Every structure is written in C-alpha cells, then in structure tokens.
C-alpha cells in the first residue's frame, strides 16, 4: 500500500480537514488494510499511544453507519483533555457528545491465539472512570462510506475528556445496569445505561481486547480504553456546557466553543 496514499489520511486527521478528493485516497479493500492505514495515526503523535476507543457499540449505531459490528480506533494524547476543558467545535463535522466508561489497564495484554474471557480481562483492569467523547470524521458522508473507510478514518476518533478521578475498587460494579445522566446547559438532556454498550461495557472491553489480539497488537499497561456511548449521541453546538454524571464514578464535564 502506497505510503503517500496512507499519509493523506494522517494529514487530514492532523489538520482536522475533510477529504475532498476521494479519488486521491487509497481505499482499503479489507479490514486488515484498513487497520494498517489506521496504525499510521500513531506517527502524527509526539507521544506513545494513549489508548483505544470503540465505535458502533449499539445496534442502532451500527445500522446508522452501515456496519455489522463494532470498530476499534486509536486515542492520541494530543486529543486528550482534562475534565472542565474548553473544546472547539469549529472544525468538528459531527457535533455530537457521548458518555463512555474509561478503563485503565493494569498490565500489558499480549496477543494470543485463543480468546480472552471477561474474568481474565477484569484482572487486567487497574481502574475505571467517566469519559466524554466528541467523535469526528474526515468524510462528509461519514455514515455512508462503509466499515473499511471508517477504520481508516480512525473509527471517528476525535477529542476526548477524562474525569479527574478513577476508581480502583471496580470489581463489584454492575456495569450492565449502570445509570448515566447527561446534562446540557444545566438541564437533563439524556439518560443512559451500561447495557446500551454491546449489552455490557465489559463485553465491549472483551471485544476490543480480542480484536486487537487478532491483529497482533499489544494492549499496553496504563493505556485507556473507552468502550462506546451509554447515551444516544447528543447534538451540541458552540456555547454548550456538558456534564456527564456517572454517580459513584464521578462526573466529567466540558465547555464547547
């Protein structure tokens, strides 16, 4: 696959620009090619890979973008923000916010031939906290380009905000039934539940660990994995204040400009 063609994806990501000439892009023919393009996103970062995200963790979301399962994407440190940050929407195409669980890894998880089970993965979780994702795409018709281009577009990865507190005593938490409330401009805008995320956020975590294992990728100690939105993605605009209340896990908030 041409390096120059792949670099066009990275340039658009770095500049937050839209792909205007599809004919100039190397269109991945399959999932493996798409993830090879996505691997290049680490080249535009000045830091080690921050972590991972999962797109399309609900049946509604999968239907909306025309895929039949979830998709993994990379989190870069340059798009990380602390709770309370101001985030510009000026170049954001999608203008949505999502409420997500963020899991921090306790140790490296090595690729292997047999699947990891949830009980094993639980032993590799250091802590969990609340997160906001502000997804984005470099395609105007992002809901019609198909799964391979979505992977190459880094699975709609955009800015993300993590709560200031992570909870290490997580094994007794019932993530499937966990309630989350989203406030926009101090008014309740959406309510969500953990089961909206592939039936259980731990199932989503299991999915991405095994997906990355199948791609021969090591999930590294201290990386963050955000597992997909608990709420229906909420439309936002400049000037909005967003608070996601994860109750016993705390709150995470941002101001959009």
The pLDDT of residue 17 is above 80 = yes
- Exposed, middle or buried: residue 233 (CB in 10 Å: 0-12, 13-18, 19+)? buried
Q: What is the pLDDT of residue 172?
A: 92
Mean pLDDT, range 126-149, rounded to an integer: 94
**Which of 18-27, 68-77, 130-139 shows the lowest per-residue confidence on average (mean pLDDT)?**
18-27
The more confidently predicted of residues 107 and 20 is 107
Residues 6 or more apart in contact with residue 158 via CB below 8 angstroms: 79, 92, 94, 133, 134, 135, 136
d(CA 234, CA 15): 24
- For residue 50, the enclosing domain spans 3-256
Q: Name the helix (H) or strand (E) containing 151.
A: helix 147-152
Please state, rounded to an integer, the average pLDDT across all residues of the chain: 94
Residue 8, domain CATH: 3.90.850.10
Q: What is the pLDDT of residue 27?
A: 87
List, for residues 154-171, the tens digit of each pLDDT value. 999 999 999 999 999 999
**How many percent of the chain have pLDDT more than 70?**
98
The pLDDT of residue 100 is above 80 = yes
Mean pLDDT, range 244-251, rounded to an integer: 97
d(CA 107, CA 126): 8
Domain count within the chain: 1
How is residue 149 written in tokens? 């281009």
CA 116 to chain centroid, in Å, comes to 21
Residues 6 or more apart in contact with residue 50 via CB below 8 angstroms: 75, 76, 77, 80, 223, 224
Mean pLDDT, range 48-74, rounded to an integer: 90
Mean pLDDT, range 135-155, rounded to an integer: 92
Q: What is the pLDDT of residue 5?
A: 53
List, for residues 24-56, the tens digit of each pLDDT value. 788 899 999 999 999 999 988 999 999 999 998
Question: Confidence band (pLDDT; 50, 70, 90) for 22?
Answer: confident
């Amino acid at each position: 696959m041409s390096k120059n063609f792949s670099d066009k994806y990275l340039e658009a990501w770095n500049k937050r620009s839209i792909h205007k000439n599809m004919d100039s892009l190397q269109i991945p023919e399959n999932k493996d090619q798409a993830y090879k393009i996505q691997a290049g996103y680490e080249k535009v970062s000045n830091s080690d890979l921050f972590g991972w995200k999962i797109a399309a963790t609900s049946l509604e979301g999968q239907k909306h973008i025309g895929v039949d399962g979830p998709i993994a994407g990379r989190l870069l440190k340059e798009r990380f923000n602390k709770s309370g940050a101001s985030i510009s929407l000026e170049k954001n195409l999608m203008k949505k916010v999502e409420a997500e669980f963020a899991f921090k890894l306790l140790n490296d998880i090595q690729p292997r031939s047999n699947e990891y089970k949830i009980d094993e993965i639980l032993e590799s979780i250091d802590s969990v906290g609340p997160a906001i994702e502000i997804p984005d795409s470099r395609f105007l018709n992002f809901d019609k380009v198909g799964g391979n281009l979505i992977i190459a577009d880094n699975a709609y990865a955009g800015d993300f905000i993590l709560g200031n507190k992570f909870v290490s005593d997580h094994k007794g938490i019932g993530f499937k039934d966990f309630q989350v409330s989203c406030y926009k401009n101090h008014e309740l805008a959406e309510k969500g539940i953990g089961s909206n995320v592939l039936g259980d956020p731990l199932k989503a975590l299991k999915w991405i660990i095994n997906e990355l294992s199948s791609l021969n990728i090591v999930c590294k100690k201290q990386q963050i994995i955000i597992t997909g939105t608990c709420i229906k993605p909420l439309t936002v605009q400049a000037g909005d204040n967003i608070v996601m209340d994860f109750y016993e896990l705390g709150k995470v908030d941002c101001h959009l400009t």
